[in-house]
Structure 1
């Protein structure tokens, strides 16, 4: 399927920086994606477009490249916990209210072109580049993109290959590991899309949570959230929607709509992290890396 009218990473530099400013200068990847999607008004069709047949969306892929570019330019930084933040230089640039929008875009874009020129021409040199020549900078992916195309992609493909019943049992096991009690899979025809029920205990209180599982390679829209809420009507006050795909910005907004039953959302990326945390189908091995430094003074003094 052809890519549907989406901006290139070079065209998402400014929207990403402005999203970071709107989010208070720091944000998770999901927060950045959701905010850029809302600010730029991407349609459900654009959000559903998969990158190379999935499991990652094309929007998510391009924004991953955009974050990497901003990091290489020294405008963003990220922690080992996946939190991205504006650097002082990035904050100063995006917060300069006296700078017209067009000039701000030109400065950021020119900075990227200059960076790529130096990268391709060699240390201490600069090559003049056109816009198209700067995309992409190298066939190598960033560490973040490599991770997405690594174990998480493999895991999501394994989840997509499960039977519907098997995926529901996996969700049941995950909730039990996360301190839910009395987790039961109840999904059956005529149950309105509710796949199970668990009781979450928080200190001295507990409350039931209905859950629904969607093995889905793409974006789950707001309609699925409304349908799930409708199935819960009169039966419970809290829901959990789990998918191997992603949620559109409208779905996230609908899940948190004021005055409606709250629905917590777990997308494919978060699901992978949870399975890793509880080591369900995931084996984590910690490797120790030695840093060896030769001390010439030791030999000179012998």
Structure 2
């Protein structure tokens, strides 16, 4: 822009960068990269990833020009931009705090379920994750296995059994993992162990043994992670956060 002595659109700026061999772009859409970097340093455009140091300003025709190096941003503009960034930072902090609180409440709700309800929950969670033919076995007739299903992996189908322990604080040790593996061996190819509490280090180490059925462990926090990932038993609201993008509308 300084060499040309005129404003430039992102596509023009990209062409000038390539022509001068100033940078090599390893991306399928280099113009978008140039546009994003210009906007981060553009006066009047404030969003979470915008930089405090501004080098450009948008023109009325959708292009960008360099700021006169002798120009000083008026004091009344800087506090306004700081207020915008501060407000966004506060909103993000509140969102993170709210999510932590909801995660705690979700885990507490799981711990308050009846054992049979937790078994049904685990079966439906597996279904939400893509498992097929999931069945929760009847109490006292499950042979130590709370349910089973199938997981399709490519052209093959893997038979999976699952075990559920709804505990408040009691940790699951390696003996419980090995016992579940023993009941699974010869009947299923994988085992999934769900608990609302946690697994000891020894239990985690016992997940896999050479030649034995692998057991996948899901503690309370990991279960909550899956619930958030799949929006399973957790609802979300979209909060619109507006930002100024007139320059993108005018860009040619």
What SS is found at the alignment partner of 1:239? strand
Could you tell me how far 1:254 is from its partner in structure 2? 0.4
What SS is found at the alignment partner of 2:206? helix
The answer for unaligned runs of 5 or more in structure 1 is 1-141, 293-302
Q: Provide the rounded CA distance (Å) in 2 between the counterparts of 1:164 and 1:261.
A: 25
Could you tell me how far 1:279 is from its partner in structure 2? 1.9
Could you tell me how far 1:187 is from its partner in structure 2? 4.4
Change (3 A) 1:148 1:244: farther
Structure 1 outlier segments of 4+, above 3 Å: 145-149, 288-292
Q: Contact (CA 8 Å) 2:128, 2:232: kept in 1 or not?
A: no
Q: Contact (CA 8 Å) 1:276, 1:284: kept in 2 or not?
A: no
Change (3 A) 1:266 1:177: same
**Partner of 1:269 in structure 2?**
221
Determine whether 1:212 maps to 2:163: yes
Could you tell me how far 1:148 is from its partner in structure 2? 8.1
1:135-177 deviation per Cα after TM superposition (whole angstroms, max 9, x unaligned):
xxxxxxx99x957851111011111111122111111111111
User: Taking structure 2 as the reference length, what is the TM-score of the superposition?
Assistant: 0.54
Root mean square deviation of aligned Cα: 2.5
The answer for unaligned runs of 5 or more in structure 2 is 1-92, 245-252
Q: Provide the rounded CA distance (Å) in 2 between the counterparts of 1:148 and 1:214.
A: 25
Among 187, 192, 201, which residue is 1:235 paired with?
Answer: 187
Q: Contact (CA 8 Å) 1:187, 1:194: kept in 2 or not?
A: no
**Partner of 2:147 in structure 1?**
196
Among 111, 116, 133, which residue is 1:165 paired with?
Answer: 116
Q: Contact (CA 8 Å) 1:199, 1:206: kept in 2 or not?
A: yes
Q: State the structure with more CA Rg.
A: 2
Q: Provide the rounded CA distance (Å) in 1 between the counterparts of 2:179 and 2:143.
A: 8
Q: Provide the rounded CA distance (Å) in 2 between the counterparts of 1:185 and 1:236.
A: 15
User: How do 1:62-77 residues align onto structure 2 when only pairs under 5 Å count?
Assistant: none
Among 210, 222, 235, which residue is 1:283 paired with?
Answer: 235
User: How do 1:135-174 residues align onto structure 2 when only pairs under 5 Å count?
Assistant: 150-174=101-125
Q: Contact (CA 8 Å) 1:243, 1:267: kept in 2 or not?
A: yes
Q: Contact (CA 8 Å) 2:207, 2:215: kept in 1 or not?
A: yes
Determine whether 1:247 maps to 2:199: yes
- Structure ranking higher on relative contact order (CA contacts 8 Å, 6+ apart): 2
User: Taking structure 1 as the reference length, what is the TM-score of the superposition?
Assistant: 0.46
Among 175, 179, 182, which residue is 2:130 paired with?
Answer: 179
Q: Provide the rounded CA distance (Å) in 1 between the counterparts of 2:98 and 2:201.
A: 24
Number of residue pairs matched by the alignment: 151
Q: Provide the rounded CA distance (Å) in 2 between the counterparts of 1:163 and 1:147.
A: 27
**Partner of 1:66 in structure 2?**
none
